[in-house]
Amino acid sequence: MLKYFAVCGALLLTGCSAMQNISSTQIRNKESLRLSETLPMTIPQIQAALFQNRYACRPLPHLYVDPADANRGLLVIEIIGASRVSVGALADFKQSGANTQVDFYSYYSGWDIMGKELIAAIKQPLVCN
């Protein structure tokens, strides 16, 4: 019986550890970088592709363009934190000429698939994954 409670307690603590308050500055590091890719598109073209995918397939987070620098954008996937909404994953977009560098960060290592799905939605917006 004691072993049962120990296992239940460990599972409960594991679940609680997932509910942390994570900010975008905490997630932007080498350990959390899950995908980095250069796309032959501008940020407005990427926004249009995400809009097409959202309309054809499913809702995706909004790509926000930096009002101070139109060559930079941010897409955030929010999760529930311990006491506030936290950043589960984010994608940084940095346009240089006709190309855009996309860096996808996630606190959770298993979320790299989200970065791959995001890139696929941008490259082929009318194909639903």
Average pLDDT, the chain: 80
The answer to whether 91 and 106 have CB atoms below 8 angstroms apart is no
The helix/strand/coil state of 101 is: strand
Distance CA 54, CA 121 (A): 9
* Structural contact between residues 92 and 33, judged by C-beta atoms closer than 8 angstroms: no
Is 62 a residue whose pLDDT tops 90?
no
* Region 112-127 average pLDDT: 92
**Between 33 and 19, whose confidence is greater?**
33
Closest Cα to residue 126, out of 41, 70, 53?
53
Domain spans in the chain, listed from the N-terminal domain onward:
21-123
Quote the tokens at residue 6. Answer: 């120990």
pLDDT at 81: 59
Q: What is the mean predicted confidence (pLDDT) over 59-64?
A: 86
pLDDT of residue 17 exceeding 50? no
Q: Are strands 63-65 and 33-39 parallel, antiparallel or unpaired?
A: unpaired
Task: Check residues 99 and 81 and name the one with the higher pLDDT.
Answer: 99
The correct CATH number of 21-123 out of 3.30.310, 1.10.3470, 3.30.420, 1.10.3860 is: 3.30.310
**Is the pLDDT reported for residue 83 higher than 60?**
no
pTM: 0.77
Give the Cα separation of 111 and 42 in Å (integer): 25
Higher-scoring residue by pLDDT: 1, 121 = 121
